[in-house]
A and B are shown apart, each in its own frame.
Chain A
């Protein structure tokens, strides 16, 4: 598919995406029905972004608009499928969604003081716990994809960690795509109570190699001194479209560590926005995209230091082979009064072929005067001296390059706090890096 600017009227396309929305079963929660209706209205006002929009200038999603996608009728119970290959042994709790639909038979919830459930079956108390955040942290006023996701709110992962509860094993949220032409609208809501801690794995995998559309939204709120480790893995099919928004608000002294790894999809876009709403919050944001052929992977992040003594660390890496295209836009905002902010951001990109392409844009906006902010971006090829060093020890040129490419990505994967997932992704990365010419 060649990159051209879409000329089809987007409203027509959005109308086609919305076609299945009226068939959605009403929720017993009145406020949720209101939220959906509000979102449907917004979709009617908004348009599909094009490269003429500043936030999408490097990412042409017109190939998406040439295809039609519909959600599965929710009455269909997901067929039993073998998911053993996706199991993460450390995770005692797993929620599985197949083509966007919750699959209770494939899911298992460990007992133990934490509410983990499908949104559509949430208890009254849990529904009340998420009501202030659902559809609010990830605003849909100006984002058509968030609005679409909200319009289709039905199944989704709900995690409520009560105050001072430390979740000992990770929660695995597994989104499996089994059919082409399907649109799925995954939603995750994570509420971390005061002083609580939890590890959440949000993973997207494919069991078909066709074109489908995943439009995900994740919302997380961290109360004072809460701690969340969030691992996001996107391994969609090479023909898939993956668009995701993740919005996080950090309370006083809370800490978010996020690792996101993008391997799949024809076109993927991940918007991560982190808002530090009180003093002394910390976020550590690590990202890796490994793409080849004609893939496009775009990460837009925004870290908003709205209060003093905030810390942020961001390392985003891209390994780009073939004719693939990586995009990174990392915005760091330091608001007036957010004194003693300590922020460091680094974008590092490795191009493995002459046709590989990267657009990287660190974006610092600082309105406080007593801050420490560092940022940098590099785009390059493998270091000649490092290649020579390995060859001088007997490794072939190809083996040396593969090892260095692997190492470049392994730094990010090494930061994933779950050993079995780390090993699995290391193997994937090793295979991907030895496959390159």
Chain B
């Protein structure tokens, strides 16, 4: 929901980043206010996922220029765990399998790390069990997933639900969902999108990174941004996604990127 008086939660200015010495992000400008849902679209290799990982603090990516403020404070230079505890959440495109760690244990550790930062009480295993089961209902998840190892042997859809479950537990102020729709069948997509919609509130913001317009049938964005060559080259409303669906990405390069950046 767009409210002009809503405070800015994320402000990105001229962000450049490299991985293994190769520049992937080449000057991103991007602003998110609380209550908003943003979609970042773009062809493969445009830098969408890199942008998501840089915001979460992945150590393999090096920011070379630019600034990022989160809730008015510098975000760059903060450790990934500090960002998480401050309310930044990244739903992974490829959630990592961790054999030997029970999902319930992992979820509780994550929840308690964030709770401690917020000065709230940590939950013991029994208390947490009740709490997490209620959240799982939201995502139509079988409680059996608590006893299994983190993401191990989960189907693509199950992994994505588990990501959204973590988001539901951690209650981030800024959630970045990296290709959460990829690998989902239509039923799973509906459930995951329903969960995201329920979690979207006035006091948080969502950034959906997606290659396809399909997800946006279920989660309606306030803004659609198109990335190409490591920059945001066009920004529009939700109708831009439909236009991309019919026309593809090729036509955007023919427009003036400067004017697109100015409207961002």
Contact = CB atoms under 8 A, between A and B. Distances in A.
Contacts of B92: 389, 392
B95 A389 contact: yes
B115 to A, nearest CB: 9
Interface residues of A, number: 25
B170 A394 contact: yes
Nearest to A409: B100
A348 B172 CA distance: 37
Interface in A370-405: 383-386, 388-397, 399-400, 403-404
Contacts of B166: 393
A350 to B, nearest CB: 12
Given A392-B90, A394-B84, A384 B96 contact: no
A411 interface: yes
B98 A393 contact: no
B78 to A, nearest CB: 11
B50 to A, nearest CB: 14
Q: Taking each of B81, B90, B92, B149, which has the highest tally of chain A beta carbons within 10 Å of its own beta carbon? A: B81
B117 interface: yes
A318 to B, nearest CB: 15
Contacts of A394: 81, 84-85, 109-110, 113-114, 117, 170
A266 to B, nearest CB: 28
Contact of B81 (A395, A407, A409): A395
Nearest to B99: A411
Nearest to A407: B100
Q: Taking each of B95, B106, B170, which has the highest tally of chain A beta carbons within 10 Å of its own beta carbon? A: B106
B100 A393 contact: no
Given A384-B60, A388-B58, A391-B80, A403 B170 contact: no
A408 interface: yes
Contact of A399 (B83, B99, B109): B109
Interface string B41-81: 00000000000000011111000000000000000000111
Interface string A118-156: 000000000000000000000000000000000000000
A384 B81 CA distance: 14
A414 B96 contact: no
Interface string B121-145: 0000000000000000000000000
A389 B107 CA distance: 12
Contacts of B106: 390, 393, 403
Contact of B98 (A386, A388, A391): A386
B79 A397 contact: yes
Given A391-B57, A393-B110, A394-B114, 9 more contacts: A392-B57, A394-B85, A394-B109, A395-B81, A399-B109, A400-B81, A404-B98, A406-B100, A407-B101
Interface of B: 56-60, 79-81, 83-85, 89-90, 92, 95-96, 98-101, 106, 109-110, 113-114, 117, 149, 166, 170
Closest 4 CB pairs of A and B: A407-B100, A394-B113, A393-B110, A391-B80
